[in-house]
Amino acid sequence: MNLIFASSNKNKIKEISALMPSNIVLQGLQDVGITQEIPEPGTTIKENSFLKANFVIDFLKNKNTSVFADDSGLEVEALNNAPGVYSARYAGTPKNDDANNKKLLQELNTKTNRKAKFVTIITLILNGQVHYFEGEIKGTIAFEPRGNTGFGYDPLFIPQGYRSTFAELGAEVKNSISHRAIAVKKLVEYLKNSQP
């Protein structure tokens, strides 16, 4: 089946492509003629996840389009779960991973509690029906950026049970345990069971 992934984040597209079975043909936004960045005006991760998927349905004016979107964020306990829904633009616009990581370290400068979690909510719109799939992973925030794989907050996030950051662990390990991998596995399972 053809499935549109409503994301312009190349790293997410790479991670999700690696988790998709071969009978699902992923189409990017450009494949369906969407070149602008999809607005994310929501105040929760779930809301933005839905808005991104629904944008594609509205844009294509086709309620039977099969589309999914991933909205993700980092929730840091000592910062009242910030940056959360604002993870992409934590240090302002345009979005910048290095600036976000720098700001996060500054905000945590005086904190001893380094606990955090990554959250992903995938919204699937299939035959006009909306479905949500969630994934999260607990961990802690390192004291300086380490490693050079992945994206976003990966150089600062140490998943529970490990000593290395996601950026040090590499794509294969990240993709076997991450928030996104957990949500995508649920999505794939659902698609497998819903196909004739």
Write out the residues near ligand ITT by the rule CB under 6 A: 7-9, 12, 40, 52, 70-73, 87-88, 95, 97, 100, 150-154, 178, 180
Could you give the dihedral angle defined by the CA atoms of residues 93, 99, 103 and 105, in that order, rounded to the nearest 10 degrees? Answer: 160
Catalytic residue among 31, 70, 71, 98: 71
H or E stretch at 121: strand 115-126
8 Å CB contact between 193 and 133? no
How far is C-alpha 179 from the chain's CA centre?
8
Nearer residue to ligand ITT within complex by CB, 184 or 191: 184
Query: Which residues lie across from 69 on neighbouring strands?
Result: 123
Torsion sign over Cα 68, 136, 181, 164: positive
Residue 105 CB, nearest approach to ligand ITT (Å): 14
Residue 153 CB, nearest approach to ligand ITT (Å): 4
Nearer residue to ligand ITT within complex by CB, 6 or 23: 6
CA distance 4 to 7: 9
- The runs of H, that is alpha helices, within 35-128 are 45-60, 97-107
8 Å CB contact between 180 and 136? no
Residue 59 CB, nearest approach to ligand ITT (Å): 14
Active site residue 70: no
Residue 154 CB, nearest approach to ligand ITT (Å): 4
Residue showing the smallest CB distance to ligand ITT in the complex? 152
| Residue of 63, 61, 64, 53 whose CA lies nearest to 5 | 53
Write out the catalytic residue numbers.
Answer: 71
